[in-house]
Amino acid sequence: MQDATSNRFRVYSELRSRICLLDYPPGTRLSEETLAAEFGTSRTPLRRVLARLEDEGLVQSIHGVGTIVTDVDIEEMLHVYDLRMELAQLAGSLSPIDITDQTIQAVRHFHNQSEALKRDPTARAFAQLNMAFFHFGLTLSNNVALRDMSERLYYKTARIWLKSISKMDLAAEVDIFCREIEETQNAIVNGDTSAAALIRRAHISMCVHRLRKS
């Protein structure tokens, strides 16, 4: 057992992940008591985590009913996507990092993983890799505020893609993702964070278009 803060973050992170990977699909009723028991704590600290998830719009607590995982709809989230695109682009101009060998190695790692995914594509593994690659994208700017806001907005919309993938062509999506990583790798190797940011923005935009059509 660590100190309270890190333990809280662990629980928060785990629940957020379950919600965004649809382990808890929209409409699921979470029981405070059950979750508290699972994480080996009591309702009080767990409620603090749920309160944060509620502030971020991932769950909704209703007195006398339960804590319910919210539903997400692409049309309602268009505003969020608009902002996410702008923030993605800003990552290239607001305090961009100096690219080191470590950065290049990281993007190569993602390239390898995306190729492996192409050979054995599953929706869940794809979503997880996408999430990890998003976090890598955050590290391209040193602006902490930008990172925080981007992350918050990302998790607000992360479920939409996974909810729609059954109606889309998984192999084609993986292919597009692979190419995004390749393009990003080219930009990073050339030390061009600005280009990497624009690539990211473009792919968010295209992804929204594909999602709306499905």
**Are the C-beta atoms of residues 149 and 206 closer than 8 Å to each other?**
no
Q: In 3D, which of 211, 208, 187 has the Cα closest to residue 197? A: 187
Q: Using alpha carbons, list the distances in angstroms from residue 125 to 25, 55, 113, 162.
A: 17, 28, 10, 11
**Strand (E) positions, 38-161?**
59-62, 66-69
Stretch that binds its own copies, among 25-33, 146-154, 183-191, 204-212 (CB under 8 A): 146-154
Compare residues 154 and 177 and give the one whose CB is closer to its own copies. Answer: 154
For residue 68, the cross-strand partners are 29, 60
| Contact status: 119 vs DNA (CB under 7 A) | no
Q: How many CB atoms lie within 10 A of CB 207?
A: 19
Query: Which one among 42, 112, 142, 190 touches its own copies, defined by CB under 8 A?
Result: 142
| Contact status: 71 vs its own copies (CB under 8 A) | no
Tell whether the torsion through CA atoms of 33, 39, 42 and 43 is positive or negative.
Answer: negative
Q: Which positions from 2 through 61 interact with DNA, judged by CB under 7 A?
A: 4, 7-8, 29-33, 41-45, 47-48, 61
Q: Which positions from 162 through 201 interact with its own copies, judged by CB under 8 A?
A: none
Which among DNA, its own copies, none contacts residue 31 (Cβ within 5 to 8 A by kind)?
A: DNA
- Where along the sequence are the contacts to its own copies (CB under 8 A)? 4, 44, 47-48, 51-52, 55, 63, 79-80, 82-83, 86, 90, 94-95, 142-146, 149, 152-153, 156
- Where along the sequence are the contacts to DNA (CB under 7 A)? 4, 7-8, 29-33, 41-45, 47-48, 61-67
